[in-house]
Chains A and B, each alone.
Chain A
Amino acid sequence: MKDKSPLLEMRNISKDFFGNSVLKDVSFKLEKGEILGLVGENGAGKTTLMKILFGMTVIRDTGGYSGEIFLEGKPVSYKTPFEALDDGIGMVHQEFSLLPGFTAAENILLNRESTKNNFMTELFGDRMKNLDRKDMRKRALKAIGKVGVQLHEDMLISDMPVGHKQFTEIARELEKDNIKLLVLDEPTAVLAESEAEILLKSMKKLSSEGISIIFISHRLREIINITDKILILRDGRIIQEKPTSSTNISEIAEAMVGRELEVSKREDVRVFDRTFLSVSRLWVNMPGETVRDVSFDVNEGEIFGIGGLAGQGKLGIPNGIMGLFPGGGEIILDGKKIGLNSPRIALDSGMAFVSEDRRDVGLLLDEPLDWNISFTAMQVQNKFLKPIFGNLIKWRDEKAIQNAAKGFIDALEIKCTGYSQKAQELSGGNQQKICLAKAFIVEPRVLFVSEPTRGIDVGAKKIVLDTLIKNNREKGTTIIMISSELEELRSVCDRIAIVDEGKIAGILPATRPAADFGLLMLGTAPVSGGAE
């Protein structure tokens, strides 16, 4: 093996999106039949790295990458995913790309069907060939056999349980006879434990047959069990590259979450005596952020954090409670039951929401700042309205609106030319402050803040977080903050819930070490004091 070149080598790969660097000097080798575990937080660069390998058009459209890729010693640079497929690299995506109305066999052989000639072929070319169903079934069964599962080749995808869909997808890649390298992006995320075990077993089998596998997962136990080598990415760099045998779960978790920064000075743990908001058995159908059977209590005056990796459902919680996505369960606010599925009911009951989607949900981009700030208050609470003709018509009270806007612009240090500037002309950080002002002005009893610092610069981050803390301390607003940045949650919140696979994996006081939260995020056993 030593003298032969490795199956895949990526050398000094760097990539930036418009000056924003996402991969820095990443190099690694993958031998034939080896299983490589690729781990890292969201935004660490895993997906981008794989996109570069596959020649996804988005990479070229954004200026290409630097560095070299060698496949079996030969330099390659794919312009489209099809070229990568031709060279024997297969990928199973996180989202299914199966046709629901086709059978397993039809999906496995999609666009690679077995065909037979007929008289029309002479006239109109190859696409008029008949499908050879018998041969297709045979090939599909062979591919399913390679995965090592019981799958009915004639079953429609739409009738299949989710695990079988995943197996079908893998079988599709294995059906290509030249397959050398298989990239599996979170393949076990949708599987039940027993199914995941079958998949891991078949991965072992494939690797023994000489197929190399890149396995992306955040379930560290699986990574440890199955891989030969583990690559940890953080902020676009390789933090650690070690044979699996010489590392362990907590080392990986720490390397992944990293940032052994001292937690910013926190005051002593605050004690609360009254449950204010009680969420029980909440489910939310938010595409990509599904919430399953979530229950938690928030105390009056508390700052409660919700963290977890992207796509695990943390964003679904506030969006569901505020009625923006369909959901069910029970929400009790200050002893009163609050109906779901209606933003109006949620707002009327004194809850406010600063959405992670600033541009689409948060702001009226074409309108001036003062309108943006006062809009919800005007709609929901009849603030800033002057009655005319004995309440027959309500007129906007421009003066009051402007004064309120001025007040917030000063208090939150919003950089703008004045209250009449349009919202879209502000920077991301200042837009976020406008969103906060819009929420503060209705004086909510419970404020949901979702990803408040996403996409804004460091200085603005601090102001936004300080603003939240100040509002909490001075007005006593109960705040529920959802963020992907654990450090941010730990510096602001009193308690933090970690969401994993749509459920609460555990709720811990913010003073606990970062590694504890890291372990919860990665689906490993909660340390203690977990909710479930």
Chain B
Amino acid sequence: MLKNDKDNVIKFLETNLVPILFVIIIAFALPLSGFSVRYLFNEIIVRLVRNLFLVLALLLPIMAGMGLNFGMVLGAMAGEIGLIFITDWNITGLHGMFLAMILSIPLSILLGWMCGKILNRAKGREMVTSYILGFFMNGVYQLVVLYGMGSVIPIASDSIVLSRGYGIRNAVNLTGIRQSLDKLLPLKIGTTLIPVATFALIAVLCVFIIWFRRTKLGQDMRAIGQDMAVAEASGIDVARTRIISIIISTVLAGFGMVIYLQNIGTMNTYNSHEQVGMFSIAALLVGGASVNRAKIGNAILGVVLFHLMFVISPMAGKNLIGQAQLGEYFRVFVSYGVISISLVLYAIRKQRDKARAGIALADAQEVRD
């Protein structure tokens, strides 16, 4: 029994190594930063509103055994293109935001379908494939947005087109829809504004994900996630199901991007989506998710911990060694670090599971003595 308890503790530490590390870092940095609790609470609310939807978009492919969907960048691009159009057409407020979402859907489906097709040819190497695919599609996106828009695709508004007559400016101002969702149902707690409508939308997504797990399609995805060969042998259309999971993830990422940008209010046309993919994945992993297992709780915890660290690390850095850049440096460093650690831990765990059969053999001999 004692051995069992010890094993359980070790297992808990092993599966939650990354969140535990983050809690420790934050525990050190928090007093150093000197921020008030109220300020931090406010910041956390803002970050949850911005990022949670995007992070939740990653859950389905993980369930289907396709790992971390770096291809969510494709959905983010679709969302951005939707936003460019509604800005051009000058449709503001909630209408504009939802129209942007609707515009992103066909594009997301197309991109997701393509991504899914390609990933089906790269089974077992989904993550690196979708990562590179993201870079590749970034080039296509740049071609379309930088050269196609204003020349082939009509863009009327001068304010978003470069002065040369075609191509979209580096920064697009989204004042028309800025925080239109967040301010729909405002709720003030002290000085903190709680955007109830946005949280409601996120809650709807959570309910959808929980409900989806209980559908036939969700069950099929879980089966494929565990063993593609067994799922195939039982008659499940593995290739199609995998494509569906990527399409759903891409569409959700597109929605998430619109929500993210309506909160910020300006769009960095050529960079926003790049960062979004990496930071979302890092946040999910910080929340204790792994390549093959992720829950809604992981997403929430991850966004809180990851962004809390972002908020406090510049001040902590400044107060500690007098340099605020440390925080910015930390951001990128930590994101890549977290992703690397998670991938390595995943590989180690897989190897250990293999070795377990040998240990069982040795144990079986011991018992007979």
Q: How far is the CA of A326 from the CA of B355 in the complex (A)?
A: 8
Given contacts A81-B233, A100-B226, contact A131 B365 (CB under 8 A): no
> Are A97 and B361 touching (Cβ within 8 A)?
no
Q: How far is the CA of A284 from the CA of B231 in the complex (A)?
A: 30
Q: Within the complex, which residue of B216, B235, B365 is in contact with A292, where a contact is CB–CB below 8 Å?
A: B365
> Are A111 and B226 touching (Cβ within 8 A)?
no
> Are B365 and A283 touching (Cβ within 8 A)?
yes
Q: Is A159 an interface residue (CB 8 A)?
A: no
Within 8 A of A (CB), among B308-367: 355, 357-358, 361-362, 364-365
Given contacts A99-B230, A131-B215, A326-B355, contact A82 B368 (CB under 8 A): no
Q: How far is the CA of A97 from the CA of B236 in the complex (A)?
A: 14
Interface pick from B32-40, B148-156, B217-225: B217-225
Q: Within the complex, which residue of A99, A126, A292 is in contact with B361, where a contact is CB–CB below 8 Å?
A: A292
Q: Is A65 an interface residue (CB 8 A)?
A: no
Q: Is A425 an interface residue (CB 8 A)?
A: no
Cβ of A284: which chain B residues have Cβ within 8 Å of it? 361
Q: Within the complex, which residue of A82, A98, A99, A293 is in contact with B365, where a contact is CB–CB below 8 Å?
A: A293
> Are A129 and B361 touching (Cβ within 8 A)?
no
> Are B230 and A281 touching (Cβ within 8 A)?
no
Q: Is B227 an interface residue (CB 8 A)?
A: yes
Q: Is A102 an interface residue (CB 8 A)?
A: yes
Given contacts A290-B361, A326-B355, contact A129 B226 (CB under 8 A): no
Q: Is B171 an interface residue (CB 8 A)?
A: no
> Are A127 and B216 touching (Cβ within 8 A)?
yes
> Are A131 and B230 touching (Cβ within 8 A)?
no
> Are A130 and B230 touching (Cβ within 8 A)?
no
> Are B215 and A128 touching (Cβ within 8 A)?
yes
> Are A101 and B216 touching (Cβ within 8 A)?
no
Q: Is B25 an interface residue (CB 8 A)?
A: no
Q: Is A491 an interface residue (CB 8 A)?
A: no
B281: shortest Cβ distance to chain A, in Å?
23
Q: Is A307 an interface residue (CB 8 A)?
A: no
Within 8 A of A (CB), among B197-217: 211, 214-217
> Are B358 and A326 touching (Cβ within 8 A)?
yes
Q: What does the 1/0 interface line of B234-257 toward A look like (CB < 8 Å)?
A: 111000000000000000000000
Given contacts A82-B235, A97-B230, A111-B235, contact A285 B358 (CB under 8 A): yes
Cβ of B227: which chain A residues have Cβ within 8 Å of it? 97, 99-100
> Are A328 and B217 touching (Cβ within 8 A)?
no
Given contacts A97-B229, A328-B362, contact A131 B214 (CB under 8 A): yes
Q: Within the complex, which residue of A97, A111, A293, A328 is in contact with B220, where a contact is CB–CB below 8 Å?
A: A111
Cβ of B211: which chain A residues have Cβ within 8 Å of it? 130
- Name which residue of chain A comes closest to B241, CB basis: A127
- Name which residue of chain B comes closest to A290, CB basis: B361
> Are A111 and B234 touching (Cβ within 8 A)?
yes
B245: shortest Cβ distance to chain A, in Å?
12
> Are B216 and A129 touching (Cβ within 8 A)?
yes
> Are A283 and B230 touching (Cβ within 8 A)?
no
> Are B226 and A101 touching (Cβ within 8 A)?
yes
Most chain A C-beta atoms within 10 Å of own C-beta, residue among B215, B233, B355, B357: B215
> Are A115 and B216 touching (Cβ within 8 A)?
yes
> Are A283 and B216 touching (Cβ within 8 A)?
no
A369: shortest Cβ distance to chain B, in Å?
36
- Name which residue of chain B comes closest to A120, CB basis: B215
Within 8 A of B (CB), among A114-172: 115, 120, 126-131
Given contacts A82-B235, A97-B230, A293-B368, contact A131 B219 (CB under 8 A): yes
Given contacts A110-B234, A281-B365, A283-B358, contact A126 B226 (CB under 8 A): no
B328: shortest Cβ distance to chain A, in Å?
40
Q: How far is the CA of A421 from the CA of B233 in the complex (A)?
A: 44
Q: Is A356 an interface residue (CB 8 A)?
A: no
Q: How far is the CA of A433 from the CA of B364 in the complex (A)?
A: 39
- Name which residue of chain A comes closest to B213, CB basis: A131
> Are A127 and B217 touching (Cβ within 8 A)?
yes
- Name which residue of chain B comes closest to A85, CB basis: B235
Q: How far is the CA of A292 from the CA of B367 in the complex (A)?
A: 13
> Are A97 and B368 touching (Cβ within 8 A)?
no
Given contacts A111-B235, A127-B216, A326-B355, contact A99 B362 (CB under 8 A): no
Given contacts A326-B358, A328-B362, contact A131 B226 (CB under 8 A): no
Q: What does the 1/0 interface line of A445-469 toward B look like (CB < 8 Å)?
A: 0000000000000000000000000
B146: shortest Cβ distance to chain A, in Å?
37
Q: What does the 1/0 interface line of A202-225 toward B look like (CB < 8 Å)?
A: 000000000000000000000000
> Are A292 and B364 touching (Cβ within 8 A)?
yes
Given contacts A82-B235, A106-B219, A111-B236, contact A130 B214 (CB under 8 A): yes
A505: shortest Cβ distance to chain B, in Å?
17
- Name which residue of chain B comes closest to A80, CB basis: B235
Most chain B C-beta atoms within 10 Å of own C-beta, residue among A98, A131, A285, A327: A285
Given contacts A130-B215, A290-B361, contact A99 B220 (CB under 8 A): no
Cβ of A293: which chain B residues have Cβ within 8 Å of it? 364-365, 368
Cβ of B219: which chain A residues have Cβ within 8 Å of it? 106, 113, 131
Given contacts A110-B223, A110-B234, contact A283 B215 (CB under 8 A): no
Q: How far is the CA of A281 from the CA of B217 in the complex (A)?
A: 49
Cβ of A130: which chain B residues have Cβ within 8 Å of it? 211, 214-216
Q: How far is the CA of A16 from the CA of B198 in the complex (A)?
A: 66
- Name which residue of chain A comes closest to B236, CB basis: A111
> Are B217 and A128 touching (Cβ within 8 A)?
yes
Most chain A C-beta atoms within 10 Å of own C-beta, residue among B223, B236, B361: B361
Q: How far is the CA of A293 from the CA of B368 in the complex (A)?
A: 10
Within 8 A of B (CB), among A211-265: none
Q: Within the complex, which residue of A106, A126, A290 is in contact with B216, where a contact is CB–CB below 8 Å?
A: A126
Cβ of A81: which chain B residues have Cβ within 8 Å of it? 233
A-B contact pairs, 9 of them (CB 8 A): A101-B226, A106-B219, A110-B231, A110-B234, A113-B216, A130-B216, A283-B358, A285-B355, A328-B362
What residues of chain B have their CB less than 8 Å away from a CB belonging to chain A?
211, 214-217, 219-220, 222-223, 226-227, 229-231, 233-236, 355, 357-358, 361-362, 364-365, 368
For the complex of A and B, the 8 pairs showing the least CB-CB separation, nearest first, are A285-B358, A127-B217, A111-B234, A283-B361, A99-B226, A110-B234, A97-B230, A326-B358
What residues of chain A have their CB less than 8 Å away from a CB belonging to chain B?
81-82, 97-102, 106, 110-111, 113, 115, 120, 126-131, 281, 283-285, 290, 292-293, 326-328
If A129-B215, A283-B365 are given as contacts, then 8 extra A-B residue pairs at C-beta distance below 8 Å, sorted by A number, are A99-B227, A102-B223, A102-B226, A110-B223, A110-B230, A115-B216, A285-B361, A328-B362
